[in-house]
Structure 1
Amino acid sequence: MRQALLIVDVQRSFSPPTKLIRSIEELLPHITSVATVERHNESRVPFRRQLDWAPAPDDEALIAADRIFIKHGYSPTPEVIDYLRSLKTERVLVCGIQADTCVLAAGFALFDAGLSPTLVADLVVGSSVDRSGRLGIALWRHHFGGVVSSYRDLIPERG
């Protein structure tokens, strides 16, 4: 099955746990990867005005994905969706920061584009509402169905 990994907002502004970064890095050699980085631009998304917080305007990905796309706001850009379509993937695996917001928004965008989103449950962290990510995983199951419990199941056996 042709698949790609979408890594959502694993960047300094969201304080990702070291374990999350190391686990994603362990999977990277085995799959085509795309990462998003959320940057602040108040003229495009009113983070400061509405939430009194914003990601850094110059934040960078902490994961060395094959392709990195900058976004402003919760959802991946049309360029991300177009790129994933160009890969002719049958399934897009999703991981990253804020399982109940940005990761979920990526799921909706992928679903609406017909790209079969599947969450990698042990490679997500939730927002400050639920840092465990359980809420986001439950919402993902409800809306999209596809969940892989462990990233290790995606790594081919050495033989």
Structure 2
Amino acid sequence: MRQALLIIDVQPSFDPPAWLVEGIERLLPLMPSVATVERHDEAVTPFRRQLNWAPGPADDSLVAADRVFIKHGYALTPETVAHLKALDVDRVLVCGIQADTCVLAAGFALFDAGLQPTIIADLVVGSSLDRSGALGVKLWRHHFGAVAERYEALLEG
């Protein structure tokens, strides 16, 4: 099966746990990879005005993906989606930060683009509402169905 890895917002502003970064790094050599980094631009997305918080203005990805796309807000950019479509993969494995918001938003964008998004359940962290990520995985299963429970199974082939 041809697949790509999409890494959502694994960057300093979100203080990812070491186990998340290490797990993602183990998958990087196996397939094409794309990472997103959320940067703050109040003129584009009103984080400070509405949430009194914003990601760092100069964060970089903490994982060395093949391609990195900058985004402002929850959604994937059209360029990110176009790049993933051009990879001509059977599915896009999704992992990263904020399983119940940014990761879920990526799932909707991929689904709407005709791709098959699959969340990696043990390589996500949730928002402050549910840091475990369980809520995001439950929502993902409901909306898209495809869940890879353990990243180690992906290493085995």
TM-score, normalisation: structure 2:
0.98
- Corresponding residue for residue 35 of structure 1: 35
Cα deviations by residue, 1:68-107 (Å, 9 ceiling, x for unpaired): 0000000110000000011001100000000000000000
Structure 2: distance between partners of 1:120 and 1:129 = 19
How far did residue 36 of structure 1 move? 0.1
Question: Which ranges in structure 2 are unaligned for 5 or more consecutive residues?
Answer: none
- Corresponding residue for residue 97 of structure 2: 97
- Corresponding residue for residue 132 of structure 1: 132
AA of the residue aligned to 2:124: V
Cα deviations by residue, 1:2-45 (Å, 9 ceiling, x for unpaired): 11000000000001000100111011111110000000000000
Structure 1: distance between partners of 2:71 and 2:8 = 10
SS of equivalent to 1:110: helix
- Corresponding residue for residue 44 of structure 1: 44
RMSD after superposition:
0.7
Structure 2: distance between partners of 1:88 and 1:27 = 19
Given the alignment of the two structures, is residue 74 of structure 1 paired with residue 74 of structure 2, yes or no?
yes
Map residues 137-152 of structure 1 onto 2, 5 A cutoff: 137-152=137-152
AA of the residue aligned to 1:59: D
How far did residue 156 of structure 1 move? 3.6
SS of equivalent to 2:5: strand
Map residues 56-75 of structure 1 onto 2, 5 A cutoff: 56-75=56-75
Aligned length: 157
SS of equivalent to 1:103: helix
AA of the residue aligned to 1:79: E
- Corresponding residue for residue 54 of structure 2: 54
Structure 2: distance between partners of 1:142 and 1:33 = 25
AA of the residue aligned to 1:114: G
The list of structure 1 runs, each at least 4 consecutive aligned residues, that deviate by more than 2 angstroms after superposition, is: none
TM-score, normalisation: structure 1:
0.97
Structure 2: distance between partners of 1:49 and 1:90 = 40
SS of equivalent to 1:122: strand
- Corresponding residue for residue 114 of structure 1: 114
Cα deviations by residue, 1:118-145 (Å, 9 ceiling, x for unpaired): 0000000000000000000000000000
- Corresponding residue for residue 23 of structure 2: 23
Cα deviations by residue, 1:49-80 (Å, 9 ceiling, x for unpaired): 00000001111000000000000000110000
